[in-house]
Structure 1
Amino acid sequence: MKRLLLLAALLTTPALAQDTRFLAPLPPAAQETLRKEMLDNLLALNEIITLLASNKVREAGEVAEQRLGQTAMGKNAALPYDARPGPQMPIEMHGLGRDGHAAASAFARAAATGDATKAMAALPRLTGSCVACHALYRTR
């Protein structure tokens, strides 16, 4: 009974109302590439947070730069065009993605100092760029 009530409550919340995010109509291959990239980004964020919690600030910065930062840009360039999400995204969505890469690099620079306070201050810009894009866009 508890599960049924929880499900009913979830189904009536505004979060599950009509999805009003902008549609980014990507070909199926580009959607799949983007899905895999977003899952990898979640894994990278989890690794970064885990390293920060262990006071491995510099290591967190290295992960951020290599997996999410400007160093990671263009990793889909060798794929066939239909499998490359970036060039097919709405320009504003692509801009949010580039902003996310820049935020990850800014976090990495802050973390490279070894100063946990400085790194933690830069983290919300990184996660905020993810939140902004996911809050505004959908692919289906």
Structure 2
Amino acid sequence: MLVLLASYGVQSFGADDPRQHVQIPEPMERHMLSNMRDHLAAINEVLVNMADGKLEEAAAIAEFRLGMSSLESHGASHLAGFMPEEMRQMGTAMHRAASRFALRAQEGEPLPAYRALGDITSACVACHSNFRTR
């Protein structure tokens, strides 16, 4: 049972990986992966704040670390040139979803905010299911 749980959702890598391989220069790849780790940390902070009923704080984290306001600080414009159009669109969809989440969270109602949070993670899942850098 433990082996089954450990292997659930694990994707294979290499020649049999069906995701599109996106070649990005190594320094840019490091930058992009660092941004994505920060995105994941931000989502975690959003969840912690949501659980504590701190929707305003969750909104601020989402907007400034994930939303459209985060693009300049993350250097998105120089990374976008290395991405296929579909990947760029998925990234933009995630950033827009984060800004929409921030607006929902500012309204103070947890359920619509949680639904909007799902749009952020769905965008992440879609991109990571379709693209890889290694």
SS at match of 1:75: coil
Q: For the structure 1 residues 76 and 48, does the alpha-carbon distance in structure 2 shift closer, same or farther, using more than 3 Å as the test?
A: closer
Aligned to 1:47: 45
Cα shift at 1:25: 0.9
Cα shift at 1:120: 1.1
Matches within 5 A, 1:1-140: 6=3, 10=7, 15-16=11-12, 18-77=16-75, 84-140=78-134
Name structure 1 gaps, 5 residues minimum: none
Q: Report the AA paired with residue 43 of structure 1.
A: A
Q: For the structure 1 residues 71 and 34, does the alpha-carbon distance in structure 2 shift closer, same or farther, using more than 3 Å as the test?
A: same
8 Å contact kept, 2:35–2:74 = no
Hey, which bits of structure 1, 4+ residues long, moved more than 4 A? none
Inter-partner Cα distance in structure 1 for 2:55 and 2:131: 31
Q: Could you list the per-position Cα deviations for residues 82-138 of structure 1 after superposition, in whole angstroms to 9, with x for gaps in the alignment?
A: xx4221111110111011100000000000111112211211111100111011000
CA RMSD of aligned residues (A): 2.6
Name structure 2 gaps, 5 residues minimum: none
| TM-score, length-scaled by structure 1 | 0.83
Identity score, percent: 35
Cα shift at 1:74: 2.7
Paired residue total: 131
Q: For the structure 1 residues 110 and 35, does the alpha-carbon distance in structure 2 shift closer, same or farther, using more than 3 Å as the test?
A: same
SS at match of 1:19: coil
Inter-partner Cα distance in structure 1 for 2:29 and 2:46: 25
Inter-partner Cα distance in structure 2 for 1:29 and 1:71: 24
